[in-house]
Amino acid sequence: MKDVQYQATVPIAPPAVVPTGKESGPDVEAGVFLIDKPVGPTSFQIVRQVRKALGIKKVGHAGTLDPFASGLLILCAGRPATRIIDQLMGGDKTYEATLRLGIETDTQDLEGEVVAEQPVRELSRAEVEACLAGFVGEGVQTPPRYSALKHKGKPLYYYARKGIEVVKPPRPIIIRELLLLALGADWLTIRVHCGKGTYVRTLGADIGNALGCGAHLIALRRLQSGPFSVTKALPGDRLADREQAQELLARHRLTVDEALAALGEAKAG
């Protein structure tokens, strides 16, 4: 696999395609764009900025990131590119995540309401590393209530916000690597290399429970998706200005064939 840097949905949500207007003239070509999403905007806001800059009818993302998360966001512009979104979403993902220990929230991240607090005892690095090792390999994970996973055509967060309890059955996941990067008195930072469909905030909550103090996610950054790395991504905070966005997108465009070739090389490797 080329350009893979195993450095560490919110898990990955179903593909989102935002249609609008008509396709622009022949000078606008379909393509795949790697964006380094900053903390703050939603994935859909980034989609809208790219759609506005390119004037293309269909723009979609290959896996959402929550507003508090940053990192690699793969966008597909134009019908030929949006048709391969499912293929782009199928690879492993690498994240860096920071957990706040001792506090649990209803969303398993910093955007939710606190539902439990516990004191955090002193934890050694060896103890935490042993805990993390227990999560490596194949396992199952129950999708969080606040997620974009669909139930009867609506995302789970739709029901959660209305106080309707919907519990999806546990799904198989795989954690290929889980490393401790830093440890504080009430926080830790990890790098996660995982398969498709893994919810990092649910993993964080499970780690907190295993440590006996609970936890929630306070920072998340996606570094890798399949063969695509955030090191090759254009800065998402420079897309607000339409002319600047057009120039950046033109310089960072991958053709559909190039994106498919990268996927093929990753599978072959």
Active-site positions? 66
Among 45, 185, 177, which residue's Cα sits nearest to residue 101?
A: 185
Radius of gyration for the chain, computed over Cα atoms and rounded to the nearest angstrom: 19
CA–CA separation, 163 and 187 (whole Å): 30
Phi/psi of residue 264, each to 5°?
-65, -40
Among 240, 220, 252, which residue's Cα sits nearest to residue 63?
A: 220
Q: Which residues contact 126 (CB under 8 A, 6 or more apart)?
A: none
